[in-house]
Structure 1
Amino acid sequence: MVLIWHPNCSTCKKAKQWLDARGVACTLRDIRTENPTVEELRDFWNRSGLPLKRFFNTSGQLYRSMELGARLPQMSEEEQLELLSTDGMLVRRPLLVGARGVCVGFREAEWQSLLEQEAP
């Protein structure tokens, strides 16, 4: 599994502690230095089953300063994916990426469900 996170984010730290407490080994990927590509984001989105808007960090300063709340509805999905790939601070985090699914944001029940799907 891969944990795409921001090491200074309190929610990301909580998610990592949660995984550690369950003995889940993950590859850590800093979203600031290794932002997901358009292709990765498209794959994550398709495998998550979530609306694309859930991938945006709507509480982030960059999202607000770019006034994306008003702009996103006029953008195509491809334009939104391109935008997300430009800066990791636009992407909601943490992302837990497994072979069978992707979780966006830290919700214990969703993460537990993914872990159960990933179990051998």
Structure 2
Amino acid sequence: MELTFYWYPKCGTCRNAKKWLDENGISYHAIHIAEHPPTRSELGTLYKNSGLELKKFFNVSGQKYRELGLKDKVKTASEDELLDILASDGMLLKRPILTDGNKVTVGFKEDEYKSTWL
């Protein structure tokens, strides 16, 4: 199954991940995360399949995260509220997100990519 690669082209981490995928001959379908963010339903699936805490899906260094004052809200909001917030704007999502429909990685760490996708 082809991988789905949610990324933001101006993001250096995303460009590094894309370069790594290309250099390792891994095929993927790239989706601009700001223009075509995952739906709330897709986010729910990504979250469940990732094994990560939902707060790990937030781009905590992003301008939108700071503008909305989400630092404290993330600590107390329910899972449903957090999914709604994440689905409201692709720029709130930590990127890149890479999935094959079962496995999911969030962000880019070369070691994690090697162990998950090679």
Q: 1:99 Cα shift? A: 3.5
- Which runs of 5 or more residues in structure 1 are unaligned? none
Which residue number corresponds to residue 71 of structure 1? 73
- Opposite residue 54 of structure 2, the aligned amino acid is L
**Contact 1:3 / 1:96 at 8 angstroms: preserved in 2?**
yes
CA deviations over 1:32-53 (Å, ceiling 9, x no partner):
1111111111100110100000
Q: 1:71 Cα shift? A: 1.2
Give me the TM-score of the superposition, normalised by structure 1: 0.93
Could you tell me how far apart the structure 2 residues matched to 1:91 and 1:81 are? 10
- Opposite residue 40 of structure 1, the aligned amino acid is E
**For 1:85, what is the secondary structure of its paired residue?**
helix
Which residue number corresponds to residue 89 of structure 1? 91
- Opposite residue 95 of structure 1, the aligned amino acid is I
Which stretch of structure 1 is more off in the superposition, 95-104 or 75-84? 95-104
Q: 1:100 Cα shift? A: 3.1
Could you tell me how far apart the structure 1 residues matched to 2:54 and 2:76 are? 13
Which residue number corresponds to residue 9 of structure 1? 11
Which residue number corresponds to residue 115 of structure 2? 113
CA deviations over 1:29-74 (Å, ceiling 9, x no partner):
0001111111111100110100000000000011011111111122
Across the aligned residues of Structure 1 and Structure 2, the Cα RMSD in angstroms comes to 0.9
Give me the TM-score of the superposition, normalised by structure 2: 0.94
- Structure 1 runs (4+) deviating above 4 angstroms are none
Could you tell me how far apart the structure 1 residues matched to 2:41 and 2:102 are? 17
- Opposite residue 107 of structure 1, the aligned amino acid is K
Which residue number corresponds to residue 49 of structure 1? 51
- Which runs of 5 or more residues in structure 2 are unaligned? none
> Which of 32, 37, 42 lines up with 1:30 in the alignment?
32
Mapped pair 1:60 → 2:62: yes
Q: 1:98 Cα shift? A: 1.3
Q: 1:111 Cα shift? A: 1.3
**Contact 1:6 / 1:93 at 8 angstroms: preserved in 2?**
yes
